[in-house]
Amino acid sequence: MDAIDLQHVRDDFPVTRRMLYLDAAHQTPLATSIRRGIEAFLEESNENAGPKPVWLGRVEAVRARAAAFLGAAPQELAFTKNTSEGLNIAANALPLAAGDNVLMIEGDHPNNAYAWLNLARKGVEVRFIRLHDGVADATLFAPHIDARTRVISMSHVTFHAGHVHDLASIGALCRERGLYFVVDAMQSVGVVPIDVKALGISLLAAGCHKGLLVPQGLGLLYADARLTDLQPAYLAWASLARPPADLIANPADLAPAPGAARFELGNFNLPDIHALDKALDLIEGIGITNVHAHMQMLGDRLIEHLDRFGIGLVGPRTRAHRAHIYVLDLPAEPWLAYFAQHNVRVSPERDGIRISFGIFNTREDVDRLAGLIYSHSPDRWADLSPADFRLTA
Ligand SMILES: Cc1ncc(COP(=O)(O)O)c(C=O)c1O
Protein backbone atom coordinates (compact mmCIF):
# COMPACT_ATOMS: atom_id res chain seq x y z
CA MET A 1 0.00 0.00 0.00
CA ASP A 2 1.33 3.44 -0.90
CA ALA A 3 2.15 5.31 2.29
CA ILE A 4 0.96 8.54 0.71
CA ASP A 5 -0.55 9.65 -2.56
CA LEU A 6 2.30 11.09 -4.57
CA GLN A 7 0.61 11.26 -7.98
CA HIS A 8 0.77 15.07 -8.00
CA VAL A 9 4.48 14.82 -7.25
CA ARG A 10 4.99 12.33 -10.06
CA ASP A 11 3.22 14.70 -12.45
CA ASP A 12 5.81 17.35 -11.58
CA PHE A 13 8.58 15.14 -13.05
CA PRO A 14 8.19 14.88 -16.85
CA VAL A 15 10.93 12.24 -16.94
CA THR A 16 8.39 9.76 -15.54
CA ARG A 17 6.47 9.99 -18.84
CA ARG A 18 9.56 9.29 -20.90
CA MET A 19 11.29 6.43 -19.08
CA LEU A 20 11.37 4.28 -16.00
CA TYR A 21 13.79 6.39 -13.98
CA LEU A 22 15.36 4.38 -11.16
CA ASP A 23 18.56 6.34 -10.74
CA ALA A 24 17.84 9.15 -8.27
CA ALA A 25 21.02 8.33 -6.33
CA HIS A 26 22.98 9.28 -9.42
CA GLN A 27 21.22 12.47 -10.44
CA THR A 28 17.82 13.92 -9.77
CA PRO A 29 15.60 14.57 -12.76
CA LEU A 30 14.42 18.17 -12.64
CA ALA A 31 10.87 18.84 -11.46
CA THR A 32 8.87 21.36 -13.42
CA SER A 33 8.06 23.41 -10.29
CA ILE A 34 11.80 23.67 -9.54
CA ARG A 35 12.59 24.54 -13.13
CA ARG A 36 10.04 27.39 -12.83
CA GLY A 37 11.91 28.72 -9.81
CA ILE A 38 15.13 28.88 -11.82
CA GLU A 39 13.31 30.41 -14.78
CA ALA A 40 11.82 33.15 -12.62
CA PHE A 41 15.35 34.03 -11.48
CA LEU A 42 16.64 33.97 -15.06
CA GLU A 43 13.79 36.23 -16.13
CA GLU A 44 14.73 38.81 -13.48
CA SER A 45 18.35 38.55 -14.51
CA ASN A 46 17.49 38.81 -18.17
CA GLU A 47 15.16 41.78 -17.81
CA ASN A 48 16.72 43.72 -14.94
CA ALA A 49 20.14 42.28 -14.07
CA GLY A 50 18.93 42.02 -10.50
CA PRO A 51 18.06 43.43 -8.08
CA LYS A 52 20.99 41.81 -6.32
CA PRO A 53 19.93 42.91 -2.80
CA VAL A 54 16.65 41.06 -3.34
CA TRP A 55 18.55 37.98 -4.49
CA LEU A 56 20.83 38.16 -1.47
CA GLY A 57 17.80 38.49 0.79
CA ARG A 58 16.49 35.29 -0.76
CA VAL A 59 19.85 33.58 -0.19
CA GLU A 60 19.43 34.26 3.53
CA ALA A 61 15.82 33.07 3.51
CA VAL A 62 16.80 29.81 1.76
CA ARG A 63 19.77 29.40 4.12
CA ALA A 64 17.38 29.64 7.09
CA ARG A 65 15.03 27.09 5.50
CA ALA A 66 17.81 24.66 4.60
CA ALA A 67 19.36 25.00 8.07
CA ALA A 68 16.00 24.32 9.73
CA PHE A 69 15.57 21.30 7.45
CA LEU A 70 18.74 19.86 9.05
CA GLY A 71 17.86 20.98 12.57
CA ALA A 72 20.54 23.71 12.52
CA ALA A 73 20.62 27.47 12.98
CA PRO A 74 21.09 29.67 9.88
CA GLN A 75 24.55 30.82 10.99
CA GLU A 76 25.64 27.17 11.10
CA LEU A 77 25.06 26.63 7.38
CA ALA A 78 27.33 27.61 4.48
CA PHE A 79 26.54 27.23 0.80
CA THR A 80 29.25 25.35 -1.08
CA LYS A 81 29.64 23.85 -4.53
CA ASN A 82 29.25 20.16 -3.68
CA THR A 83 29.97 17.45 -1.12
CA SER A 84 33.68 17.21 -1.88
CA GLU A 85 34.17 20.90 -1.30
CA GLY A 86 32.35 20.71 2.03
CA LEU A 87 34.37 17.70 3.20
CA ASN A 88 37.65 19.31 2.17
CA ILE A 89 36.70 22.49 4.00
CA ALA A 90 35.93 20.37 7.06
CA ALA A 91 39.16 18.35 6.87
CA ASN A 92 41.27 21.48 6.58
CA ALA A 93 39.36 23.51 9.19
CA LEU A 94 39.75 21.08 12.07
CA PRO A 95 42.71 21.59 14.39
CA LEU A 96 44.53 18.35 13.52
CA ALA A 97 48.23 17.77 14.01
CA ALA A 98 50.89 15.27 12.95
CA GLY A 99 50.23 11.92 14.62
CA ASP A 100 46.46 12.41 14.85
CA ASN A 101 44.24 9.84 13.17
CA VAL A 102 40.87 9.80 11.43
CA LEU A 103 38.63 6.71 11.37
CA MET A 104 36.67 5.85 8.23
CA ILE A 105 34.86 2.84 6.84
CA GLU A 106 36.76 0.94 4.17
CA GLY A 107 35.18 1.50 0.76
CA ASP A 108 33.36 4.69 1.73
CA HIS A 109 32.90 7.27 -1.00
CA PRO A 110 36.27 8.35 -2.46
CA ASN A 111 35.32 12.02 -2.25
CA ASN A 112 35.16 11.63 1.50
CA ALA A 113 38.31 9.52 1.74
CA TYR A 114 40.51 11.81 -0.35
CA ALA A 115 39.64 14.88 1.70
CA TRP A 116 41.26 13.16 4.69
CA LEU A 117 43.99 11.28 2.83
CA ASN A 118 45.20 14.67 1.62
CA LEU A 119 46.08 15.49 5.24
CA ALA A 120 48.96 12.99 5.04
CA ARG A 121 51.08 16.02 4.13
CA LYS A 122 50.41 17.28 7.68
CA GLY A 123 51.17 13.87 9.17
CA VAL A 124 47.51 12.96 9.83
CA GLU A 125 46.73 9.28 9.35
CA VAL A 126 43.51 7.78 7.96
CA ARG A 127 42.55 4.38 9.35
CA PHE A 128 40.03 2.37 7.35
CA ILE A 129 37.84 -0.05 9.26
CA ARG A 130 36.23 -3.00 7.54
CA LEU A 131 32.47 -3.38 7.92
CA HIS A 132 31.57 -7.05 7.68
CA ASP A 133 27.78 -7.18 8.03
CA GLY A 134 24.89 -4.93 8.79
CA VAL A 135 25.40 -1.21 9.20
CA ALA A 136 28.01 0.76 11.10
CA ASP A 137 27.28 1.75 14.67
CA ALA A 138 29.35 2.75 17.70
CA THR A 139 30.55 -0.82 18.25
CA LEU A 140 32.32 -0.78 14.88
CA PHE A 141 34.45 2.25 15.76
CA ALA A 142 34.90 1.99 19.55
CA PRO A 143 37.69 -0.65 19.53
CA HIS A 144 39.73 1.43 17.04
CA ILE A 145 39.79 4.68 19.00
CA ASP A 146 43.16 5.47 20.57
CA ALA A 147 44.68 8.51 22.28
CA ARG A 148 45.37 10.20 18.92
CA THR A 149 42.01 9.56 17.26
CA ARG A 150 40.38 12.92 16.60
CA VAL A 151 37.73 12.34 13.93
CA ILE A 152 35.21 9.82 12.62
CA SER A 153 34.17 10.65 9.08
CA MET A 154 31.59 8.62 7.17
CA SER A 155 28.65 8.58 4.79
CA HIS A 156 25.18 8.55 6.29
CA VAL A 157 23.77 6.44 3.44
CA THR A 158 26.19 4.49 1.25
CA PHE A 159 26.07 5.02 -2.48
CA HIS A 160 27.27 1.49 -3.26
CA ALA A 161 24.75 -0.61 -1.32
CA GLY A 162 22.32 1.75 0.41
CA HIS A 163 23.24 1.11 4.06
CA VAL A 164 21.68 3.68 6.38
CA HIS A 165 24.30 3.76 9.12
CA ASP A 166 23.42 4.29 12.76
CA LEU A 167 24.63 7.86 13.13
CA ALA A 168 22.96 8.38 16.51
CA SER A 169 25.10 5.80 18.30
CA ILE A 170 28.28 6.97 16.55
CA GLY A 171 27.48 10.61 17.35
CA ALA A 172 27.00 9.66 21.01
CA LEU A 173 30.35 7.82 20.98
CA CYS A 174 32.08 10.87 19.49
CA ARG A 175 30.57 13.11 22.17
CA GLU A 176 31.68 10.74 24.91
CA ARG A 177 35.24 10.39 23.55
CA GLY A 178 35.68 14.01 22.49
CA LEU A 179 35.93 13.27 18.76
CA TYR A 180 34.77 15.35 15.82
CA PHE A 181 31.99 13.63 13.89
CA VAL A 182 31.95 14.47 10.17
CA VAL A 183 29.15 13.18 7.95
CA ASP A 184 28.79 12.96 4.18
CA ALA A 185 25.03 13.30 3.72
CA MET A 186 25.03 13.39 -0.07
CA GLN A 187 22.85 10.31 -0.35
CA SER A 188 20.66 10.94 2.67
CA VAL A 189 19.70 14.59 2.59
CA GLY A 190 16.18 14.99 1.23
CA VAL A 191 15.55 11.27 1.63
CA VAL A 192 16.15 10.41 5.29
CA PRO A 193 15.30 12.80 8.15
CA ILE A 194 18.43 14.45 9.55
CA ASP A 195 18.69 16.30 12.84
CA VAL A 196 22.32 17.33 13.18
CA LYS A 197 21.93 18.19 16.87
CA ALA A 198 20.20 14.97 17.87
CA LEU A 199 22.80 12.96 15.91
CA GLY A 200 25.74 14.78 17.49
CA ILE A 201 27.25 15.80 14.16
CA SER A 202 30.12 18.30 14.18
CA LEU A 203 30.27 18.98 10.44
CA LEU A 204 28.02 17.72 7.65
CA ALA A 205 28.53 18.11 3.92
CA ALA A 206 26.17 17.35 1.07
CA GLY A 207 25.50 18.27 -2.50
CA CYS A 208 21.95 19.21 -3.51
CA HIS A 209 21.64 17.35 -6.81
CA LYS A 210 20.16 14.08 -5.54
CA GLY A 211 17.58 14.01 -2.73
CA LEU A 212 17.43 17.80 -2.65
CA LEU A 213 16.32 17.83 -6.29
CA VAL A 214 18.46 20.76 -7.48
CA PRO A 215 20.67 20.78 -10.60
CA GLN A 216 24.37 20.17 -9.94
CA GLY A 217 26.55 22.91 -8.48
CA LEU A 218 25.18 23.63 -5.01
CA GLY A 219 26.24 22.10 -1.71
CA LEU A 220 25.50 22.58 1.98
CA LEU A 221 28.00 22.58 4.82
CA TYR A 222 26.80 22.48 8.42
CA ALA A 223 29.31 23.42 11.11
CA ASP A 224 28.31 23.19 14.77
CA ALA A 225 28.37 26.73 16.20
CA ARG A 226 30.21 25.49 19.29
CA LEU A 227 33.28 24.70 17.16
CA THR A 228 34.76 28.17 17.34
CA ASP A 229 38.28 26.95 16.53
CA LEU A 230 37.52 25.98 12.92
CA GLN A 231 39.95 27.73 10.58
CA PRO A 232 39.00 28.48 6.97
CA ALA A 233 41.67 27.33 4.51
CA TYR A 234 40.65 30.11 2.12
CA LEU A 235 39.79 33.69 2.84
CA ALA A 236 37.75 36.22 0.87
CA TRP A 237 36.04 39.52 1.59
CA ALA A 238 32.76 37.76 2.30
CA SER A 239 34.29 35.31 4.77
CA LEU A 240 35.64 38.00 7.12
CA ALA A 241 34.16 39.08 10.44
CA ARG A 242 34.56 42.73 9.43
CA PRO A 243 34.78 42.99 5.64
CA PRO A 244 36.18 46.45 4.82
CA ALA A 245 33.41 48.69 3.51
CA ASP A 246 35.85 50.50 1.18
CA LEU A 247 36.76 47.17 -0.47
CA ILE A 248 40.44 47.72 0.28
CA ALA A 249 42.04 44.70 1.95
CA ASN A 250 43.17 45.40 5.52
CA PRO A 251 46.10 43.11 6.44
CA ALA A 252 45.64 43.97 10.13
CA ASP A 253 42.19 42.40 10.38
CA LEU A 254 41.89 38.88 9.03
CA ALA A 255 39.44 37.57 11.63
CA PRO A 256 37.02 35.13 9.98
CA ALA A 257 33.27 35.65 10.26
CA PRO A 258 31.60 33.92 13.18
CA GLY A 259 29.89 30.68 12.23
CA ALA A 260 29.78 28.91 8.89
CA ALA A 261 29.93 32.18 6.93
CA ARG A 262 33.71 31.95 7.30
CA PHE A 263 33.62 29.15 4.73
CA GLU A 264 31.74 31.05 2.02
CA LEU A 265 33.78 32.56 -0.76
CA GLY A 266 32.57 35.21 -3.16
CA ASN A 267 29.29 35.13 -5.01
CA PHE A 268 26.64 32.45 -4.73
CA ASN A 269 25.14 29.92 -7.11
CA LEU A 270 21.95 31.99 -7.33
CA PRO A 271 20.02 29.85 -9.86
CA ASP A 272 20.50 26.78 -7.70
CA ILE A 273 19.63 28.60 -4.48
CA HIS A 274 16.37 29.68 -6.10
CA ALA A 275 15.87 26.07 -7.13
CA LEU A 276 16.50 24.87 -3.58
CA ASP A 277 13.71 27.11 -2.30
CA LYS A 278 11.23 25.37 -4.63
CA ALA A 279 12.71 21.96 -3.84
CA LEU A 280 12.14 22.53 -0.15
CA ASP A 281 8.52 23.50 -0.95
CA LEU A 282 8.15 20.17 -2.69
CA ILE A 283 9.87 18.03 -0.06
CA GLU A 284 8.32 19.78 2.93
CA GLY A 285 4.93 19.58 1.21
CA ILE A 286 5.25 15.80 1.43
CA GLY A 287 7.16 15.73 4.72
CA ILE A 288 10.61 14.18 5.00
CA THR A 289 9.35 11.37 7.22
CA ASN A 290 6.81 10.48 4.54
CA VAL A 291 9.51 10.63 1.86
CA HIS A 292 11.59 8.16 3.84
CA ALA A 293 8.61 5.88 4.47
CA HIS A 294 7.75 5.96 0.76
CA MET A 295 11.27 4.84 -0.16
CA GLN A 296 11.13 2.01 2.36
CA MET A 297 7.74 0.92 1.01
CA LEU A 298 9.18 0.81 -2.53
CA GLY A 299 12.09 -1.19 -1.12
CA ASP A 300 9.69 -3.64 0.57
CA ARG A 301 8.04 -4.27 -2.78
CA LEU A 302 11.34 -4.65 -4.59
CA ILE A 303 12.62 -7.14 -2.02
CA GLU A 304 9.38 -9.15 -2.36
CA HIS A 305 10.06 -9.46 -6.09
CA LEU A 306 13.75 -10.23 -5.64
CA ASP A 307 12.90 -13.01 -3.22
CA ARG A 308 10.53 -14.58 -5.71
CA PHE A 309 13.25 -14.44 -8.38
CA GLY A 310 15.93 -15.63 -5.98
CA ILE A 311 18.01 -12.54 -6.82
CA GLY A 312 20.19 -11.38 -3.95
CA LEU A 313 20.16 -7.90 -2.46
CA VAL A 314 23.69 -6.66 -1.86
CA GLY A 315 22.90 -4.21 0.97
CA PRO A 316 20.79 -4.43 4.12
CA ARG A 317 17.30 -5.93 4.11
CA THR A 318 16.19 -4.57 7.48
CA ARG A 319 13.79 -1.67 6.98
CA ALA A 320 15.55 0.57 9.51
CA HIS A 321 18.85 0.10 7.68
CA ARG A 322 17.76 0.98 4.14
CA ALA A 323 16.07 3.83 2.31
CA HIS A 324 16.13 4.44 -1.45
CA ILE A 325 19.22 2.54 -2.73
CA TYR A 326 19.05 -1.17 -3.59
CA VAL A 327 21.80 -3.08 -5.35
CA LEU A 328 20.67 -6.20 -7.16
CA ASP A 329 23.12 -9.05 -7.36
CA LEU A 330 22.98 -9.13 -11.14
CA PRO A 331 25.97 -8.83 -13.46
CA ALA A 332 26.23 -5.49 -15.29
CA GLU A 333 26.67 -7.52 -18.45
CA PRO A 334 23.98 -8.18 -19.82
CA TRP A 335 21.56 -6.42 -17.48
CA LEU A 336 22.65 -2.85 -17.98
CA ALA A 337 22.20 -2.99 -21.74
CA TYR A 338 18.91 -4.84 -21.33
CA PHE A 339 17.46 -2.19 -19.04
CA ALA A 340 18.71 0.61 -21.30
CA GLN A 341 17.08 -1.09 -24.27
CA HIS A 342 13.77 -1.03 -22.36
CA ASN A 343 14.12 2.61 -21.42
CA VAL A 344 14.94 1.95 -17.80
CA ARG A 345 17.62 4.12 -16.18
CA VAL A 346 19.71 2.41 -13.49
CA SER A 347 23.41 2.49 -12.55
CA PRO A 348 26.06 -0.21 -12.56
CA GLU A 349 27.50 -0.50 -9.08
CA ARG A 350 30.45 -2.32 -7.50
CA ASP A 351 28.48 -5.46 -6.82
CA GLY A 352 25.63 -5.34 -9.29
CA ILE A 353 22.87 -3.14 -10.68
CA ARG A 354 21.84 -0.20 -8.53
CA ILE A 355 18.19 0.76 -8.36
CA SER A 356 17.56 4.03 -6.56
CA PHE A 357 14.18 5.57 -5.95
CA GLY A 358 13.03 9.16 -6.06
CA ILE A 359 9.83 10.64 -4.65
CA PHE A 360 8.28 10.36 -8.11
CA ASN A 361 8.57 6.56 -8.18
CA THR A 362 5.61 4.35 -7.41
CA ARG A 363 4.93 0.76 -6.54
CA GLU A 364 3.85 0.28 -10.15
CA ASP A 365 7.35 1.32 -11.25
CA VAL A 366 8.77 -1.47 -9.11
CA ASP A 367 6.30 -3.94 -10.59
CA ARG A 368 7.26 -2.84 -14.10
CA LEU A 369 10.90 -3.45 -13.29
CA ALA A 370 10.04 -6.92 -11.98
CA GLY A 371 8.04 -7.65 -15.12
CA LEU A 372 11.08 -6.74 -17.21
CA ILE A 373 13.38 -8.94 -15.14
CA TYR A 374 10.94 -11.80 -15.68
CA SER A 375 10.71 -11.24 -19.45
CA HIS A 376 14.48 -11.19 -19.81
CA SER A 377 14.65 -14.94 -19.17
CA PRO A 378 11.25 -16.50 -18.46
CA ASP A 379 12.82 -19.98 -18.64
CA ARG A 380 14.99 -19.17 -15.66
CA TRP A 381 11.83 -18.43 -13.65
CA ALA A 382 9.68 -21.20 -15.07
CA ASP A 383 7.90 -21.63 -11.74
CA LEU A 384 6.67 -18.02 -11.89
CA SER A 385 4.03 -16.62 -14.19
CA PRO A 386 3.66 -13.16 -15.74
CA ALA A 387 0.59 -12.73 -13.54
CA ASP A 388 2.93 -12.50 -10.57
CA PHE A 389 4.05 -9.16 -11.90
CA ARG A 390 0.66 -7.72 -12.76
CA LEU A 391 0.19 -4.22 -11.49
CA THR A 392 -1.31 -4.16 -8.06
CA ALA A 393 -4.60 -2.43 -7.34
C1 LIG B 1 28.19 9.45 -0.59
C2 LIG B 1 28.56 10.39 -1.70
N3 LIG B 1 29.38 11.42 -1.45
C4 LIG B 1 29.73 12.29 -2.40
C5 LIG B 1 29.24 12.17 -3.69
C6 LIG B 1 29.58 13.14 -4.75
O7 LIG B 1 30.37 14.20 -4.34
P8 LIG B 1 30.20 15.63 -4.98
O9 LIG B 1 28.90 16.21 -4.47
O10 LIG B 1 31.37 16.37 -4.50
O11 LIG B 1 30.20 15.48 -6.46
C12 LIG B 1 28.39 11.09 -4.00
C13 LIG B 1 27.84 10.82 -5.33
O14 LIG B 1 27.86 11.48 -6.29
C15 LIG B 1 28.04 10.21 -2.97
O16 LIG B 1 27.23 9.18 -3.23
CATH code of 24's domain: 3.90.1150.10
pLDDT at 350: 87
The CA distance from 374 to 172, in Å, is 45
For a pocket test of ligand 1, which of 81, 88, 109 has the largest count of ligand atoms closer than 8 A to its C-beta? 109
Ligand 1 mean position, distance from CA 186 (Å) = 6
Q: Are residues 99 and 209 in the same domain?
A: yes
For a pocket test of ligand 1, which of 81, 164, 186, 214 has the largest count of ligand atoms closer than 8 A to its C-beta? 186
Ligand 1 mean position, distance from CA 187 (Å) = 7
Residue 190, domain CATH? 3.40.640.10
Q: Which atom of ligand 1 is nearest to the CA of 26?
A: 14
Q: Which atom of ligand 1 is nearest to the CA of 82?
A: 9
Q: Are residues 266 and 139 in the same domain?
A: yes
Ligand 1 mean position, distance from CA 189 (Å) = 12
Q: Are residues 278 and 372 in the same domain?
A: no
H-helix or E-strand spanning residue 347: strand 347-349
Sort strands 352-356 and 325-328 into parallel, antiparallel or unpaired: antiparallel
pTM value > 0.75:
yes
Report the SS3 class of residue 370: helix
Q: Which atom of ligand 1 is nearest to the CA of 157?
A: 1
Sheet holding 203-207, edge to edge: 77-80, 219-223, 203-207, 180-184, 149-155, 101-105, 125-129
Residue 377 lies in a domain: yes
**Exposure string over 329-367, b if 16+ CB within 10 A, otherwise e:** ebeeeebbebbeeeebbbbebebbbbbbbbbbbbbebbb
pLDDT at 377: 86
Cis ω for the linkage preceding 244 (within 30 of 0): no
Q: Are residues 144 and 255 in the same domain?
A: yes
pLDDT at 58: 98
Ligand 1 mean position, distance from CA 155 (Å) = 9
Q: Which residues form the pocket of ligand 1, taking CB atoms under 6 Å from any ligand atom?
A: 82-84, 109, 111, 155, 159, 184, 186-187, 207
Q: Are residues 42 and 190 in the same domain?
A: yes
Type of residue at 67: A
Give the domain range for residue 184: 33-284
pLDDT at 1: 43
Residue 339 lies in a domain: yes
Q: Are residues 49 and 142 in the same domain?
A: yes
The tens-digit pLDDT sequence of the chain (393 residues) is 455 678 999 999 999 999 999 999 999 999 999 999 999 999 999 999 989 999 999 999 999 999 999 999 999 999 999 999 999 999 999 999 999 999 999 999 999 999 999 999 999 999 999 999 899 999 999 999 999 999 999 999 999 999 999 999 999 999 999 999 999 999 999 999 999 999 999 999 999 999 999 999 999 999 999 999 999 999 999 999 999 999 999 999 999 999 999 999 999 999 999 999 999 999 999 999 999 999 999 999 999 999 999 999 999 999 999 999 999 999 998 999 999 999 999 999 987 999 999 999 999 999 999 999 999 988 888 888 777 766 453
Q: Are residues 196 and 85 in the same domain?
A: yes
Q: Are residues 43 and 74 in the same domain?
A: yes
Q: Are residues 261 and 334 in the same domain?
A: no
Report the SS3 class of residue 180: strand
> How many domains would you assign to the chain?
2
For a pocket test of ligand 1, which of 85, 154, 158, 187 has the largest count of ligand atoms closer than 8 A to its C-beta? 187
Ligand 1 mean position, distance from CA 86 (Å) = 11
In eight-state DSSP terms, residue 102 is: E
